[in-house]
């Protein structure tokens, strides 16, 4: 359970008029385990005022939850409340689509990865890189990292390259101006791009000066720049060769520049860049890499329990968990879809294990619940003949080894995962579907 999930419960259980700024601040910092003395110091409020606000907050929560709530036990009580709420199915099962909300019991926590990201994002000039194929959970994790950063007083701005026109991404000057404008707008700092843009020093240095002198100098707290779908830029090789080293330069400059120390970066992408970059200029060999892997057996057990199925990960061939691991490869979205269909179809209670087998056996048929995902995957593959060629090498067990770019392209669309430098088919469903339709 994270801070935002707890905050959602707080806002749902208490009267909005009673949730004053001081109470929210006491709640946020108490959640981090800080005492009233430290809360008063960090928030700037008088110590007695902080203590009184806290006392009132715990009383209101005690009434709302029908139990005694104190500063010492409130976190464990809220975690138990959310767990009980999920088990009682008070939250309806919804169709798996898009980002999973903070308070959803269907989110599978990636405890180790989340903890590392939360710690790294606090470091001056840090870079956190989240990588994974489509619908692997990157956006859901991204929002949780952003929320944690906000709870620590970091200002986030999201640069989503899906919103950028191809014309903008095809020109480094247009791209950097577009990014600077987004940063200004989200921070509500009046833009002054033309005042900093100087053709004599170039777009990259102009952009750096703008961020340092016009943005960071006005902020008392750190700034987190989130670049979502960075891989979309990889199709523009010349722009990538300029833009990616710029991200690296900001990281390096933070080591000696006090203003740039305020800057952190969160990069979200589906595969490594396959344009040629000097290793000393690439942002992909610095910072913290987080590779989103498929769900393991225990994670699927927990997710299945949320959907209402008490299955064990006994590794037997006929086990529902083994079937989901084998057929779906543990792909989070595909596993969610299978469990959703099982939980919402009529008659599954008679034999959920048999019903799951039927769902998996017909998963690659036209009109199945997985059809949208598979058709989009097929379109992605057809658009790039090199991927088809690389995929055929795997199917034919070719002795010719896949090149680095071929493996990255297959990984990008979610066909394989790269383990110890070698390609491994992600799921039988994906492999069989593409084999039958290419």
Q: How confident is the model at residue 262 (pLDDT cuts 50, 70, 90)?
A: very high
Q: State yes or no: pLDDT of 274 exceeds 80.
A: no
Q: How confident is the model at residue 248 (pLDDT cuts 50, 70, 90)?
A: very high
Tokens found for residue 193: 């791009």
Q: How confident is the model at residue 273 (pLDDT cuts 50, 70, 90)?
A: low
- Least trusted range by pLDDT, from 19-23, 129-133, 249-253, 360-364: 19-23
Q: How many residues does the chain have?
A: 438
For residue 363, the model assigns a pLDDT of 93
Neighbours of 409 (CB within 10 A): 23
Q: State yes or no: pLDDT of 414 exceeds 90.
A: no
What is the average pLDDT across 299-325? 89
- Least trusted range by pLDDT, from 175-179, 348-352, 390-394: 348-352
Compute CA distances 261 → 224, 390, 396, whole Å. Answer: 11, 43, 51
Q: Of 29, 80, 31, 20, which is closest to residue 56 (Cα–Cα)?
A: 20
What is the average pLDDT across 290-311? 90
Q: Of 211, 213, 283, 194, which is closest to residue 243 (Cα–Cα)?
A: 283
Q: What is the pLDDT of residues 81-96, one digit of tens each?
A: 765 655 554 557 888 8
For residue 263, the model assigns a pLDDT of 97
Q: Which of residues 420 and 272 earns the better pLDDT score?
A: 420
Q: What is the pLDDT of residues 59-73, one digit of tens each?
A: 888 888 888 888 888
What is the average pLDDT across 14-19? 79
Domains (range + CATH), the chain: 3-87 (1.10.10), 111-291 (3.40.50.300), 297-361 (no CATH), 371-437 (no CATH)
Q: Of 283, 294, 359, 364, which is closest to residue 332 (Cα–Cα)?
A: 294
Q: Are 242 and 169 in contact (CB under 8 A)?
A: no
pTM confidence score: 0.76
Buried b (16+ CB within 10 A) or exposed e, 298-310: ebbbebbebbebe
Sign of CA dihedral 290, 293, 298, 301: positive
Helix ranges (H only) for 213-319 are 237-253, 297-307
Q: State yes or no: pLDDT of 347 exceeds 80.
A: no
Distance CA 381, CA 209 (A): 41
For residue 163, the model assigns a pLDDT of 96
Distance CA 87, CA 137 (A): 23
Q: What is the pLDDT of residues 26-54, one digit of tens each?
A: 888 888 888 888 888 888 888 889 889 88
Helix ranges (H only) for 362-427 are 371-382, 385-395, 404-412
What percent of the chain has a predicted confidence (pLDDT) above 90? 46
- Least trusted range by pLDDT, from 116-130, 256-270, 336-350: 336-350
């Amino acid at each position: 359970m994270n801070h935002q999930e707890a905050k959602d419960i707080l806002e749902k259980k208490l009267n909005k008029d009673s949730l004053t700024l001081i109470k929210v601040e006491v709640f946020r910092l108490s959640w981090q385990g800080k005492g009233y003395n430290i809360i008063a110091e960090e928030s700037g409020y008088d110590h007695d005022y902080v203590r009184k606000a806290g006392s009132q907050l715990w009383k209101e929560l005690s009434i709302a939850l029908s139990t005694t709530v104190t500063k010492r036990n409130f976190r464990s009580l809220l975690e138990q409340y959310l767990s009980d709420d999920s088990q009682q199915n008070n939250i309806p099962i919804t169709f798996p689509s898009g980002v999973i909300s903070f308070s959803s019991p269907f989110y599978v926590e990636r405890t180790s990865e989340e903890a590392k990201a939360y710690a790294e994002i606090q470091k001056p000039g840090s870079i956190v890189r989240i990588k994974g194929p489509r619908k692997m959970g990157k956006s859901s994790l991204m929002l949780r990292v952003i929320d944690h950063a906000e709870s620590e007083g970091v200002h986030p701005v999201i640069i989503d390259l899906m919103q950028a026109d191809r014309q903008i991404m095809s020109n480094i000057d247009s791209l950097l101006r577009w990014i600077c404008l987004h940063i200004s707008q989200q921070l509500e700092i009046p833009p002054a791009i033309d005042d900093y843009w100087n053709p004599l020093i170039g777009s990259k240095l102009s952009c750096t000066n703008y961020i340092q002198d016009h943005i960071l100098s006005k902020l008392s707290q750190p700034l987190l720049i989130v670049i979502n779908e960075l891989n979309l830029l990889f199709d523009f090789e010349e722009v990538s060769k300029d833009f990616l080293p710029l991200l690296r330069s900001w990281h390096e400059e933070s080591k000696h520049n006090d203003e740039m120390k305020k800057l952190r970066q969160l990069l979200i992408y589906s595969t490594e860049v396959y344009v040629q970059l000097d290793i000393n200029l690439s942002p992909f060999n610095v910072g913290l890499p987080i590779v989103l892997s498929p769900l393991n057996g225990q994670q699927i057990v927990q997710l299945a329990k949320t959907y209402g199925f008490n299955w064990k990960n006994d590794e037997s061939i006929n086990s529902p968990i083994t079937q989901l691991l084998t057929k779906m490869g543990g792909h989070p979205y595909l596993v969610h879809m299978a469990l959703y269909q099982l939980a919402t179809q009529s008659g599954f209670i008679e034999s959920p294990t048999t019903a799951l087998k039927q769902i998996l056996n017909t998963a690659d048929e036209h009109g199945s619940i997985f059809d949208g995902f598979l058709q989009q995957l097929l379109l992605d593959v057809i658009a790039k003949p090199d991927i088809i060629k690389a995929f055929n090498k795997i199917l034919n067990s070719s002795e010719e080894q896949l090149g680095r770019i071929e493996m990255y392209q297959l990984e990008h669309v979610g066909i394989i995962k790269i383990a110890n430098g070698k390609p491994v088919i992600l799921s039988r469903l994906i492999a069989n579907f593409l084999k039958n339709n290419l």
